Structures are given as C-alpha cells and as structure tokens.
Amino acid sequence: MTKTTTTVRSLVMVVAVLTLSTAASAEQELPLVVDGKVIEKNIRHTDMDAKANPFWKGWTQRKGKTIDGKFALDRRNKNLKDFPAVKSALGDCAFEITFSCDPAQYGNRGGGRGPWIRLADRGGFGFMDKGRNLTVNGDKCSLPLKAFNRPSPINLGDGKLHTMSAKRVGEVLSFYLDGEKITEQKIGADGNLIFFLGALESYPNLASVKVTAAKFSDKLTTNFESLAPIQVIFDGTGKPQETISGGVAKRIEGRNYAPGKASVYRIPALVVTNSGTVLAFAEARASGYDWGHIRMVVRRSEDNGKTWGPEVDITSQFPDNSCGNPSPVVERETGRVFLSYHFRTNPSHTNSGPTHVGLTYSDDDGKTWSKSKFVTAQFKPKSRPWLLIGPGHGIQLTQGKYDGRLVIPCYGQGSGYVVYSDDKGETWTVGGSSPSMDINEAVCVELLAGDVMINARSPGRTRNRGTCTLTHGGETLKEGTARFIPELPDPSCQGSTTRYAWPQDGRPGILLYAGPGLPTGRVRATLWASYDEGKTWPHRQQIYAGGSGYSDIAVLPTGKIIYLFEKDGKQDLGFTVLPAPPVQPPKKS
C-alpha cells in the first residue's frame, strides 16, 4: 500500500499545531524512556538510589550502583545507549544534566567522547578527547548545528558535580557548562527539539537529568519541509528476515519474502517507457545487510505516479541468492525494457562467490520479465578483477551516428566506465572509462554529438562529485575532462542524473543532477540544473530537508520531473513529482 508521509511547506505548521500537548502550567517536566517504556513521570531528582527512587528500577539496560547520591554506570557496552526523551519540546525549552566523570575511565572508541546533549537531526554539544575539549557538531544531520570547538574550561577529573545544558529562548539555542554560556546560535523558534543524553564513552555518574518546556509534542520525528508531496511507495517492515553471523546471512525460519513485505527497500532506479508508464525499481532486502538475501523488484504507475500497481518480483528464480544495483534502460524502437544487475551466489560478505551480471527484459511495460541470463563476460573489462553495475538507469543515445545505442554505467577499482549495445541489447561491449580518480558508483547522461558524461560518487575526502566525458558514443575518454565538480557536494553517496532538454530555438539544453545537498551527510535531497552541458550547475532547489540517500531521476512526458530516493534512512523509498526547471540559468548577482 502506498502512503503519503510528507507535507508541502504550507501544511507543516498545521500538523505541528495539531500535535501539541496542552500546557498545564508555564513550565512542564518531561520523563525519559528506556526501550520504549516510560519509567518515570517526573525526573527532577538528585537521589539516584534505586531503593529510594523507583526511577532507576526501570533502567534494565544500565547496570551500576549509587555512590554518594550519584548513579555510577558500569563499564558495559549497553550503557552507551542514549537516554531519550519521551516527547519533543516546543518553544522555549531546556535540557540539563548534572554529572561527574573520570577521564581515566573513558572508553577509547571515537577518541573519548561524551557526555553529550544531542538534538535529533541537528547534532549535539559535549566533550571530546576525554574531557579536554568542548564541541558543537552537526555532521550527517539534516538541520546541522554550526560547528564550534574550544578547550574545556573545567577539569573533568576533579571529582565534582558539573552541569551541562542546552536552552532555547526565542530563536536562539545556547549551550552552558556550570552556568557559563559556552556558545549560541540561531536555529529558529518554531521547530520541535528532540533531546537525548548521549553517554558515549564517558560512563558519567549521573545526579540529575531533566528537560523542561512550555509545551511538549508527542511527535518524536522532525517536521521536514519538502518541495512537493512525497509518497512512500516501497515501505520496509523493519523486521529482519535473516540473521548475520561471521559475515554470512541465514534466513529466519518462517520469515519469508512476500511482495510489499520486504524488511528493507534500498537502491532505487527509474525509467519511463514509450507508453509513459513509470517503472520504479528497488532492492527488496531480507535485512539491512548489503550482502544478504536481495531481490530485484519493480512497481508500475500508468498515471504519472499518482497510483501504483503491486510489487513484481523480477528475480524470483533466485530466492536464495543476492541480486543488487538495478540499472534499467528502455530501447525506443522496440519498447523493450532491459534490467541489468549484479548477482552473487552466496548471501555472504566473506564467501559470496564471484560477482556476475544478470540481464532480464520486459516487453509489456514491466508486467512480466524474461528469465535472467548472465552476461558477465560482456560487461567486465579484462583489466579489472571485479565490477558492479550503476546503480541507476542507463540511457539510449539520440545524437549523430550513435543514435539508438544503449549505454549502461558501471564501475570498478576507482573508476567509472560504460558498456554499450548497438544491436538493441542482444550483445554488449565494454566502452570508455574514467581515469583512476577515487570514484565508484557511476551514472551517465548524453551530451551533444553523442558524447557521454559520467557522474560518479566520491568515497574519499574530496566531498564533490567526480566526472569525465567519453567521446564516440561512450567509447573513448576525452582527455582533460576528468575532474571533481565544485558545485555538487557528495557525502560519499550515489546520485542521479538525466537530460531534461536539448538546445532549441535559442534556449540552452538542460542537464539535471539530484542527490544529497550537504557534503557532510545523506540529507537535504537537492536538484541542480546545468545549462552548459555540465560545465557549471547554477540552478539549485531543495527537494526534501530530511534524510536523503541513493536516488534516481527521470522526466515525464508532461515535462515534470520524477524522483525516487531513500527517505529518512535506509528502509523506505519515497517518490515525488517536481516542477520543471527554469528554461534559462539564473542571472548572476
């Protein structure tokens, strides 16, 4: 079943108002939860003795003992779990902890972090380097706090109680240590704040934990703006259908795949057929494990994405194997839709067997699919020991003598390359490749004269998309074109590209790219447009402010843009229809 989960900007505040709790007084206090259960209605306590205070009887995952009125955490991994609030805070609010720490008792993972006050989807404030530094960090967050760092003004090893707090007054969020304001920044007055205490490696001795606010909301997810309504068309159950041990996935008896009921959906791909049918592809996974039991599935829409048909299991012939990285392409003359993907015999990271390339096709707009065949030898360059497909859609060239050529993007060993077919998909040939330049997952788009531009993920420190141009219909690298694109950030994530328009009647051609909008995390899905064949990308528009991972993009016959992406994590795929980009680049200011 398809569900709509995101409202456009004009509706976001209405939803927030409807979920407010009624304030009984000017200030309310908030309980904490453990494993989803409320364990205390009022957490304003300084006595952490489990006998004197039933609050601590509920902390089944945190073992420790009371010493001089402080609850001392045992050094156990489960004690590193967050202390989460049961509601979010609205308007003026504060989160405060009173604690002591012994730097000699810190764990070493992460460089000695904590304690921290965390704000969901924003970042946090706390200690680093075993108490030597104070930091504000928003990496990998959708609404990141501005980074801040300074030496700590206190000695955490002094054995004294210290107080950390985060307070929002109006639109300003301030962080305090022992009553001294450490830093502040504007975050807005309207958003709901979801507080956590993060112990991390610090194992704090806690004397009090409390959060206060004028009003609270039951909503424990952030309200994110979106450019257009978003449907979740692949909705993972979140219930694993396999266990992982020693890198090997093993099915859980009685938990089998059924269409629409996969544990996790990831790795989207999109095409629009000759008849205008939208085909949305995905990996249907038995768990979140990249090397587990994975199937190729597709859903169809015959009304431009308004409604969707049932999930079709394309690789049902391989129920006990791993099939990933969908890369579909439409052959215009016949209408045939090809789907290439990688295939592993064993759902295992340690003994998966060789990676093969599977190829299947549909002649009825994705309703039914042929039995897959392996075409590994045609896709794999002789110089590379391994390869992977895309993921993301392939293209069919339309310009010059290469008109009709099918092209599928691939990658291997730090470079992107393509394979192509000049006989309507019967046979395939390895084409040109980028130089080795610290890139992997590749997509491609047609340029003028039948050239092909590769646009690839950068997994290293560059934090920008990698690109190069292949001439002669994708056969040969054009020297001097390999570079990283400064306008396109990349937090090491697959992205998507397509051509929107060719130059016509004095108007420039338009290329589109979509992916995460920040270099620090898979968040803020954003659409860019280039009006000079990919040399620059001046038009930029945010699609969704929340979590945004792998994606694919296509253009409807109506001229609108469709976008399928990993929404709010790695379990569900969201679909949205976007307006056409401007026909001219924005004027330079």
Judge whether 234 and 265 are in contact, CB under 8 Å: yes
Q: State the average pLDDT for the chain.
A: 87
- Taking only the tens place, the pLDDT of each residue in 386-436 is 889 999 999 999 998 999 999 999 998 889 999 999 999 999 999 999 999
Alpha helices in 59-173 (DSSP H): none
Judge whether 223 and 10 are in contact, CB under 8 Å: no
pLDDT reported for residue 18: 18
> What percent of the chain is modeled with pLDDT above 90?
71
Name the residue with tokens 């099918």.
406
DSSP 246: T
Name the residue with tokens 């109006």.
170
What is the arithmetic mean of pLDDT over 178-189? 96
Judge whether 573 and 549 are in contact, CB under 8 Å: no
Specify the higher pLDDT residue, 41 or 475.
475
Is 64's pLDDT higher than 70? no
Name the residue with tokens 């300003």.
172
pLDDT reported for residue 109: 67
Tell me the backbone φ, ψ of residue 204, rounded to 5 degrees: -70, 155
User: Domain 26-217: which CATH class?
Assistant: mainly beta
- Taking only the tens place, the pLDDT of each residue in 340-358 is 999 999 999 888 888 899 9
For residue 103, what are its two tokens? 């730097």
What is this structure's pTM?
0.86
For the chain, the domains span 26-217
Give Cα 180 distance to the centre of its chain.
37
Query: What's the residue count for the chain?
Result: 589
- Taking only the tens place, the pLDDT of each residue in 537-548 is 999 999 999 999
Helix, strand, coil in percent for the chain, rounding step 5: 5, 45, 50
Q: How far is Cα 351 from Cα 472, in angstroms, rounded to an integer?
A: 39
Is 446's pLDDT higher than 90? yes
Q: List strand residue ranges (DSSP E) for 355-509, in order.
A: 355-362, 373-374, 388-389, 395-396, 406-412, 415-421, 429-433, 442-446, 452-456, 464-471, 476-477, 483-489, 496-501
- Taking only the tens place, the pLDDT of each residue in 80-102 is 456 777 788 999 999 988 888 88
Question: What are the angstrom distances between the C-alpha of 365 and each of 335, 421, 499?
Answer: 8, 20, 22
Question: What are the angstrom distances between the C-alpha of 16 and each of 90, 192, 352, 425, 574?
Answer: 10, 8, 47, 51, 21
Number of CB atoms found within 10 A of residue 283's CB: 26
- Taking only the tens place, the pLDDT of each residue in 489-513 is 999 999 999 999 999 999 999 999 9
Q: How far is Cα 52 from Cα 310, in angstroms, rounded to an integer?
A: 57
With cut-offs at 50, 70 and 90, classify the pLDDT of residue 223.
confident
